[in-house]
Structure 1
Amino acid sequence: MSFKIAIIGAGSVGFTKKLFTDILCVPEFQDVEFALTDMSEHNLQMIKQILDTIVASNKLPTKVSATTNRREALTGARYIISCVRVGGLEAYADDIRIPLKYGIDQCVGDTICAGGILYGQRNIPVILDFCKDIRKVAEPGAKFLNYANPMAMNTWAAIEYGKVDTVGLCHGVQHGAEQIAEVLGAKSANELDYICSGINHQTWFVDLKLNGRKIGKDELIAAFEAHPVFSQQEKLRIDVLKRFGVYSTESNGHLSEYLPWYRKRPDEITKWIDMSDWIHGETGGYLRHSTETRNWFETEFPQFLESATKPIDRAKRSNEHASHILEALETGRVYRGHFNLKNNGVITNLPSDAIIESPGFVDRFGINMVSGITIPEACAATCIASINVQRMSVHAAISGDIDLLKLAVLHDPLVGAVATPEEVWQMVDEMVVAQARWLPQYADAVPAAKERLAKSTVKTREWAGAARRNVRSIDELRAEKAALKQAV
C-alpha cells in the first residue's frame, strides 16, 4: 500500500518516533510516505535524521520528507496526525506561573483548569488553520488524528468548525488498564475485558472483567490498597474509586486538577499527591518533565540516533491507537479502542454536542462507536461540569470574546473552588496579555486588558506552589539514570 501520512508538530521527537515505528510494524505500510512538518527547522532535522536512520537500518522503501511549509506537507495526505504544542514551553510556563499567583496549583494544566483553557485558546485558531489546509490540499476525505491537548477542545473545534473528519486519541485508558491488570495479578492487560466511558482524562472503567470474571468495587479497592506502589502514588484516585464506585483512567496528578476538592487548600494538597514522579501531583510537574526531556534530548542526541539503528521489533509495537486505526481502515482488520468523537447519543447521560471518549470498532467502514452507554451519575456530573467549561472555552476561542473566556475560567471546578470572580477576571486579563502573540483572536481585547491591569487593586502573590521541584540539570539527570541502572 502506498499513501501519505503528514505529522504536524513532528518536532515532538520521542512521540513522532513512536508513531513512525508503530506504523511501520504493519507489513502493508512499508511503502508509505511520511511528511513531517514543524515550525522549528532545528527540531525537524533532528527527527528526520532519526527516522532516516530507522529506514536505512531496516532496509525499507519508506519515504520521509521534512518541511516547515505545512501546506506542502499536507498536500495529498490521506492521514494527518497532530502533536502540536502551540506556544511551546514558554507559553506553557505562563499557564502554570500566572494561576499560582492567584492560588491555583496545577500539576499539568493542559486539559481544563486555567492553564488548559488558555492552552485551548492558543491551539484552536491553529487547529482551524490545519483544517482549512486539509480541506484544500489533502486527499479528499482525509482523516485528522488529533493527539494534542486539550484533547476535547481541539477535537470539538476541528469537527464543529473545521469541518474535517477528526478523531481524538489518547493513551489514558490503556495506562489505566495496565494498572488494574497489575494490581489484580494478571500477566497483562490482555486478560482484562473492560468498557471505559466518559470524556478525555475523565473516563471511567464502568465495566470490568478479568478472564471473564466480573470485578467489583470492593475487590478493586482492596487490590489497589494492597499494592506497595500504587497505594502511595494513586491516593486521590483510590479515594475517588471509593466514593464514585469506579476507577478513573487518568493519573493522580491529572485527576486532581479536574475536581474541586483535592487541590483547593495548599495544606491539603500534599496529603493527596506523591512526589516519586511528576505525574502523581507535583506542582507544574509536567512542565518540569517536558523541560528536562527537551534538554536531555538536545544533549544526548547521538544516543538517540544510535538507538535508531536497531531493527524494528513488531512485538514491541505500542498500544497508541494511531497505527491500529490506520491498519483497520486500510486492511479491514478489526480494531477495538477508545476514541474521542462527538457524543450524538453514544453516552445517554452526557450532552449530545460534547466530545466523549468511549469504545468503538474500526474497520474498512470507519470508526463505529458503541452506543447506548450510561455512566454512573457521579461520573456524569463530574464530566458535565468539565463539558460546560469546554463548550464555553471553544466558543470563546472561535469568537475572541474575552468575557466569555472569563466565564469559562470562572466555571472551571478547581478555579471556582480557589479564586473569587474578581481574581478570575484579573488572572484572565494577565494571561491574555502575557500570551497575546499566540492569541490573535483577542488582539482587540488586549489594550483594554492592559488598562485594567494597570488600575487593578486585586492582590496576588509570588508562590511556587505546594509541591514544586526545580528543573534538574543534565548532570543531575545523568547521575539519577546511572543510579537507577546500577540498582537494577
Structure 2
Amino acid sequence: MSFKIAIIGAGSVGFTKKLFTDILCVPEFRDVEFALTDLSERNLQMIKSILDRVVEFNRLPTKVTATTDRRAALEGARYIISCVRVGGLEAYADDIRIPLKYGIDQCVGDTICAGGILYGQRNIPVILDFCKDILEVAEPGAKFLNYANPMAMNTWAAIEYGRVDTVGLCHGVQHGADQIAEVLGAKSRTELDYVCSGINHQTWFIDLRLNGRKIGKDELVAAFEAHPVYSQQEKLRIDVLKRFGVYSTESNGHLSEYLPWYRKRPDEITRWIDMSDWIHGETGGYLRYSTETRNWFETEFPQFLESAARPIDPAKRSNEHASHILEALETNRVYRGHFNVKNNGIVTNLPQDAIIESPGFVDRFGINMAAGITLPEACAATCTSSINVQRMSVHAAISGDIDLLKLAVLHDPLVGAVSTPEEVWQMVDEMVVAQARWLPQYADAVPAARERLSKSRVKTREWAGAARRDVRSIEELRAEKTALKQAV
C-alpha cells in the first residue's frame, strides 16, 4: 500500500517517533510516505534524522520528508495527525503561572480549568487553518486524527466549524485499564474486558469483566487499597471510585483539576496528591516534566539518534490508537478502541453536540461507535459541567468574544470553587494580554483589557502553589537515571 501521512507538530520528537514506528509495524505500510511539518526547522531536522535512521537500519522503502510549509506537507495526504502545542512552553507557563496569582492550583492545565481554556483559545484558530488546508489540498475524504489537547475543544471545532472528518485520540483509557488489570492480579490486560464512556479525561469504567466475571465497586476498591503503590498515588481516584461507584480513566493529578472539591484549598491539595511523580497531582507538574524532557532531548540528542538504529519490533507496538485505526481502515482487520467523536445519541444522558469518548470498532467502512450507552448519573453530571465549559470556550474561540470567554472560565468547576467573578474577569484579561500574540481573534479586545488591568483593584499574590517543584538540571536528571539503572 502506498499513501501519504502528514504529521503536524512533528517536532514533538518522542511522540512522533512512537507513531512512526507503530505504523511501520503494519507490514502493508512499508511503502507509505510520512510528511513532517512544524514551525521549528531545527526540531524538524532533528526528528527527520531520527526517522531516517530507523528507515535506513531496517532497510525500508519508506519515504520521510520534512518542511515548515504546512500545505506542502498536507498536499495529497490521506491521513493527517496533529500533535501541536500552540505557543509552546512559553504560553503554557502563563497557563499555570497567572491562575496561581488568583489561587487556582493546576497540575496539568491542558483540558479545562483556566489553563486548558486558554490553551483552547490558542489552538482552535490554528486547528481551523489546518482544516481549511486539508479540504483544499489533502486527498479527498482525508481523515484528521487529533492528538492535541484540549482534546474535546479541538475536536469539537474541527468537526463543527472545520467540516473535516475528525477523530480525537487519547491513551488515558489504556493506562487506566493497565492499572485495573494489575490490581486485580490479571496476568495480562487481555484478561480484562471493559467499557469506558464519558468525555476525554473524564471517561469512566462503567463495565469491568475479568475473564468474563463482572467486577463490582467493592472488589475494585479493596484491590486498589491493597496495592502498595496505587493506594498512595491514586488516593483521589480511589475516593471518587468509592463515591461514584466507578473508576476514572484519568490520572490522579488530571482528575483533581476537573472537579471542584479536591484542589480548592492548599491543605486539601496536599492531602489528596502524591509527589512521587508529576502525574499524581504536583502543582504545574506537566509543565515541569515537559520542560525537563525538552532540555534532556536537546542535550542528549546524539543518544536518541544512536538508539534509533534498532529493529522495528511489532511485539513492542504501543497501544496508541493511530496505527491500529489506519490498519483497520486500510486492511479491514477490525480494531476496537475508545474514540472522541460528536455524541449524536451515542451516550444517552450527555448533550448531543458534545464530543464524547466512548467505544467503537474500526474497519474499512470507518469508525463505528457503539450507541445507546447511559452513564451513571454522577458521572453524567460531572461530564455535563465540563461540556458546558467546553461549548462556551469553543464558541468564544471562534467569535473572539472575550465576555463569553470570561463566562466559560467562570463556570469551570475548579475556578468557580476558588475565585470570585471579579477575580475571574481580571485573570482572563491578564491571560489574554500576556498571550496576545497567539490569540488573533482577540486582537480588538486586548487594548481594553490592558486598560482595565491598569486600573484594577483586585488583589493578587505571587504563589508557587501548594506542591511545586523546581525544574531539575541535566546533571540532576542524569544522576537520577543512573541511580535507577543501578537499582534495577
Q: Aligning the two structures, in what range does the TM-score lie when normalised by the shorter sequence?
A: over 0.9
What CA deviation, in whole Å up to 9, does each residue of 1:421-475 have, x standing for no partner? 0000000000000000000000000000000000000000000000000000000
Q: Distance in 1 between matches of 2:159 and 2:371?
A: 19
CA shift, 1:358, in A, is: 0.1
Q: Distance in 2 between matches of 1:301 and 1:279?
A: 25
Q: Tell me the secondary structure at the aligned position of residue 338 of structure 2.
A: strand
Q: Which residue of 2 aligns with 1:100?
A: 100
What CA deviation, in whole Å up to 9, does each residue of 1:205-263 have, x standing for no partner? 00000000000000000000000000000000000000000000000000000000000
Deviates more, 1:254-263 or 1:187-196: 187-196
Q: Distance in 1 between matches of 2:447 and 2:309?
A: 53
Q: Tell me the secondary structure at the aligned position of residue 248 of structure 2.
A: coil
Q: Which residue of 1 aligns with 2:283?
A: 283
CA shift, 1:321, in A, is: 0.1
What CA deviation, in whole Å up to 9, does each residue of 1:346-371 have, x standing for no partner? 00000000000000000000000000
TM-score where L is the length of structure 2: 1.00
Q: Distance in 2 between matches of 1:365 and 1:75?
A: 24
Q: Tell me the secondary structure at the aligned position of residue 34 of structure 2.
A: strand
2:428 pairs with 1:433: no
What CA deviation, in whole Å up to 9, does each residue of 1:370-402 have, x standing for no partner? 000000000000000000000000000000000
Q: Distance in 2 between matches of 1:81 and 1:70?
A: 12
Q: Which residue of 2 aligns with 1:64?
A: 64
CA shift, 1:267, in A, is: 1.2
What CA deviation, in whole Å up to 9, does each residue of 1:140-164 have, x standing for no partner? 0000000000000000000000000
Q: Distance in 1 between matches of 2:188 and 2:147?
A: 25
Q: Distance in 1 between matches of 2:90 and 2:80?
A: 26
TM-score where L is the length of structure 1: 1.00
CA shift, 1:128, in A, is: 0.0
Q: Tell me the secondary structure at the aligned position of residue 444 of structure 1.
A: coil
Q: Tell me the secondary structure at the aligned position of residue 409 of structure 1.
A: helix
Q: Distance in 1 between matches of 2:101 and 2:9?
A: 31
Q: Distance in 1 between matches of 2:46 and 2:190?
A: 35
Q: Distance in 1 between matches of 2:298 and 2:256?
A: 32
CA shift, 1:188, in A, is: 1.6
CA shift, 1:190, in A, is: 1.0
- How many pairs align? 488
Q: Distance in 2 between matches of 1:179 and 1:71?
A: 41
Q: Distance in 1 between matches of 2:195 and 2:218?
A: 18
Q: Distance in 1 between matches of 2:153 and 2:328?
A: 26
Q: Distance in 1 between matches of 2:329 and 2:280?
A: 36
Q: Tell me the secondary structure at the aligned position of residue 389 of structure 2.
A: helix
Q: Tell me the secondary structure at the aligned position of residue 228 of structure 1.
A: coil
Q: Which residue of 2 aligns with 1:212?
A: 212
What CA deviation, in whole Å up to 9, does each residue of 1:49-72 have, x standing for no partner? 000000000000000000000000
Q: Distance in 2 between matches of 1:464 and 1:253?
A: 17
CA shift, 1:189, in A, is: 1.2
Q: Distance in 2 between matches of 1:354 and 1:190?
A: 31
For structure 2, the residue ranges without an aligned partner over 5 or more in a row are none
Q: Distance in 2 between matches of 1:247 and 1:14?
A: 29
What CA deviation, in whole Å up to 9, does each residue of 1:312-364 have, x standing for no partner? 00100000000000000000000000000000000000000000000000000
Q: Distance in 2 between matches of 1:259 and 1:16?
A: 32
Q: Distance in 1 between matches of 2:187 and 2:275?
A: 28
CA shift, 1:5, in A, is: 0.1
Q: Distance in 2 between matches of 1:17 and 1:186?
A: 30
CA shift, 1:268, in A, is: 1.0
| RMSD (CA atoms) | 0.3
What CA deviation, in whole Å up to 9, does each residue of 1:277-325 have, x standing for no partner? 0000000000000000000000000110111001000100000000000
Q: Distance in 2 between matches of 1:294 and 1:191?
A: 37
Q: Distance in 2 between matches of 1:268 and 1:8?
A: 40
Q: Which residue of 1 aligns with 2:12?
A: 12
